[in-house]
Amino acid sequence: MTTTTTRVGIVGYGNIARGAEIALQAADDMELVAIFSRRSGITSASGTPVFTMDQIPSFQDKIDVMILCGGSANDLMEQGLEIGRYFHVIDSFDTHAKIEEHFTGMDRVAKAAGKVALISMGWDPGLFSLMRLLGEAALPHGKNYTFWGRGISQGHSNAIRRIAGVADAKQYTVPKEEYLERARNGEMSDFTAQESHLRECYVVLEDGADQARVENEIRHLKNYFEGYETEIHFISQEELDRDHAAMPHGGFVLRVGETQPQEAQVIEYNLRLASNPNFTSSVIVAYTRALMRMAAEGKNGCITIFDVPPAYLLAKSPEEIRHLL
């Protein structure tokens, strides 16, 4: 199968960007042309030239698609609206409550520009979203469960770090085996994320900080720890750096349903990831390929994982892909 090479740019240069850089180097049908960062003077791991953000519009004839690797909280909505005017874009926007707003904005920009914007790609949202949809399709009378972990939640780690007296922290989200087993056994009940997850915190105190107060503040942090079973371990910075530097993650999507009364059918999808950002990026790169195929067919506007025909994910001919049947 002959494919033209897709010219790719990366916007931002954090963990997801570095993962995309690795994944693109392994993809024969894609070429990483440039990386764009807010900071100047950066060199990239692959030797790809790094430019500043304001140079992005000048790459209109040199880049087909931009992988937007900024954060959901502050970067992606704004950057997408700007960069989506010039390029196809793909992002990993994961603020669930704002996805519809982001979709609407990106759809308008992409349609006006005749471009495709693929938002909220990765594993959750992303592959896990697809599993929730497939589960509902296969077993309409049923229930979806999502469990996250064991893995580091950046949001929860940051929330702990913002507490006065905390020098550093890492927080692991851990699914409770008991609830996983209940879902696996075909139980259809309404347990909450609070009930079914444990929060495991590793906290480094500043000199002289009040351990009891910090512990109390963590336990009562609304939207983060309140309502959760929370384990707090105070350790040294050396221990944190030595034992908690990796970025493992994972999780589970289960669909539990019945095709007839008392006829339990259980679908489980799970991930065990040594590197959360590198897996996320690898998925994003595969969907970048699919986005280009859809763009070549004349598609424009904002899309999600739900719109993508799976065959477009591989750089193989239809015949080769059918061998996977």
Among 132, 143, 197, 244, binds its own copies (CB under 8 A): 132
Q: Minimum CB separation from its own copies for residue 226, in Å?
A: 25
CB atoms near residue 306 (< 10 Å): 9
Contacts of 243 (CB under 8 A, 6+ apart): 202, 235
Beta strand 142-148 pairing with 249-258? antiparallel
Within 294-323, the residues that bind its own copies by CB under 8 A are 304-311, 313-314, 319, 321-322
Burial bucket for residue 270 (CB in 10 Å: 0-12, 13-18, 19+): middle
| Residue nearer to its own copies on the CB measure, 19 or 70 | 19
Cα(40)–Cα(37) distance, integer angstroms: 7
The answer to whether 2 touches 267, Cβ cutoff 8 Å, is no
Q: Is 14 annotated as a binding residue?
A: yes
Binding part of the chain for its own copies, among 157-165, 169-177, 192-200, 265-273 by CB under 8 A, reads 265-273
Q: Is 72 annotated as a binding residue?
A: yes
What b/e sequence results for 112-150 when a residue is b if at least 16 CB atoms lie within 10 Å of its CB, and e otherwise? ebebbbbbbbbbbbbbbbbbbeebeeebeebbbbbbbbb
Q: Is 199 annotated as a binding residue?
A: yes
| Residue nearer to its own copies on the CB measure, 21 or 75 | 21
| Residue nearer to its own copies on the CB measure, 139 or 232 | 139
Among 61, 190, 207, 263, binds its own copies (CB under 8 A): 263
For residue 29, state whether it binds its own copies (rule: CB under 8 A).
no
Contacts of 296 (CB under 8 A, 6+ apart): none
- Residue 209, CA distances (Å) to 163, 167, 203 in order: 11, 9, 12
Q: Minimum CB separation from its own copies for residue 114, in Å?
A: 20
Q: Minimum CB separation from its own copies for residue 190, in Å?
A: 17
Cα(170)–Cα(160) distance, integer angstroms: 8
What is the distance, to the nearest Å, from the Cα of residue 256 to the centroid of all Cα atoms in its chain? 24
| Residue nearer to its own copies on the CB measure, 12 or 122 | 122
Q: Is 182 annotated as a binding residue?
A: no
Among 27, 34, 159, 214, binds its own copies (CB under 8 A): 27
Q: Is 69 annotated as a binding residue?
A: yes
Q: Which residue has the tokens 């064991």?
A: 150
* Cis, peptide link before residue 261, omega less than 30° from 0: no
For residue 174, state whether it binds its own copies (rule: CB under 8 A).
no
Q: Minimum CB separation from its own copies for residue 17, in Å?
A: 14
Determine the 3-state secondary structure of 11 from DSSP: strand
Among 26, 40, 47, 74, binds its own copies (CB under 8 A): 26
In the shown chain, the binding pattern of residues 107 to 126 toward its own copies, with x for contact by CB under 8 A and - for none, equals -------------x----x-
**Which spans of this chain sit near its own copies (rule: CB under 8 A)?**
19, 22-23, 26-27, 96, 99-100, 103, 120, 125, 127, 129-130, 132-134, 136-141, 184, 186, 259-260, 263-275, 278-279, 281-283, 286, 304-311, 313-314, 319, 321-322, 324-325
